[in-house]
Amino acid sequence: MVNAKCVKKSPITKVEPKLQEDQKGRQIGIMGGTFNPVHIAHLVAAEQAMTKLRLDEVWFIPDNIPPHKDAPLTSAKDRATMLDLATRNNPKFRVKLLELFRGGVSYTVDTMRYLKEKAPQNNYYLIMGSDQVNSFHTWKEASELAKMVTLVGIRRPGYPQDPQYPMIWVDAPDIQLSSTAIRRSVSTGTSIRYLVPEAVREYIEEKGLYRD
């Protein structure tokens, strides 16, 4: 189980556990997931959605305990730090630890209720990969969630798309990469250079992550 308390001791510089309530309304992209680890496909999707939809920022929100995955998670501190390392050179990418601090199982609908309560003036765009688009109808209170946000799907060529809710589609380079593949490569001694940001690769190596 993820120990969210350890995140508070992290040397992360760009994480904001609390929202500023006095900001003017903005267009905010939301990317959730375990980010175990974050990789270039995450970043490319976020950048493409941000530029094509003219979003002000994209917020990366790592899960505490994901409801649809059973694989063991690297610690909250490590995942949050890798996200910070991956996004710190883009001033429009932000890391938000809302779900880690809340604890328990992470449901997107709960996070969006919190965001809408704290900053109702913002418009939120939930950015999803092709697999998430096809499974969205199984998410907790999917119909209610779809009313809170604009759903954005990253289109993957040749991948069957079956959205059951209105969706804005964004075309992005077809990078067939997953965190599972990254972890498998590390465990077998295969290079992950250029598959993750260099700072993330160095962190994984330094901390000995994913070797078992």
pLDDT digits (tens, 9 = 90+) for 69-108: 766 789 999 999 999 999 999 999 999 999 999 999 999 9
d(CA 115, CA 124): 9
Q: What is the pLDDT of residues 44-74, one digit of tens each?
A: 999 999 999 999 999 999 999 998 776 678 9
Contact 40, 3 (CB under 8 A): no
Angle at CA of residue 104, ends 166 and 56, nearest 5°: 45
* Tokens matching residue 84: 């910070």
CATH number of this structure's domain 23-179? 3.40.50.620
Domain regions of the chain by residue span: 23-179
d(CA 156, CA 175): 9
- Position of tokens 């990317």? 31
* Tokens matching residue 186: 């590390």
**By CB neighbour count within 10 A (0-12 exposed, 13-18 middle, 19+ buried), where does 92 fall?**
middle
For residue 23, what pLDDT is reported? Answer: 52
d(CA 118, CA 143): 21
For residue 160, what pLDDT is reported? Answer: 77
| pLDDT-wise least confident of 5-19, 37-51, 110-124, 144-158 | 5-19
Contact 53, 170 (CB under 8 A): yes
At 154, give phi and psi (nearest 5°).
-85, 115
For residue 154, what pLDDT is reported? Answer: 94
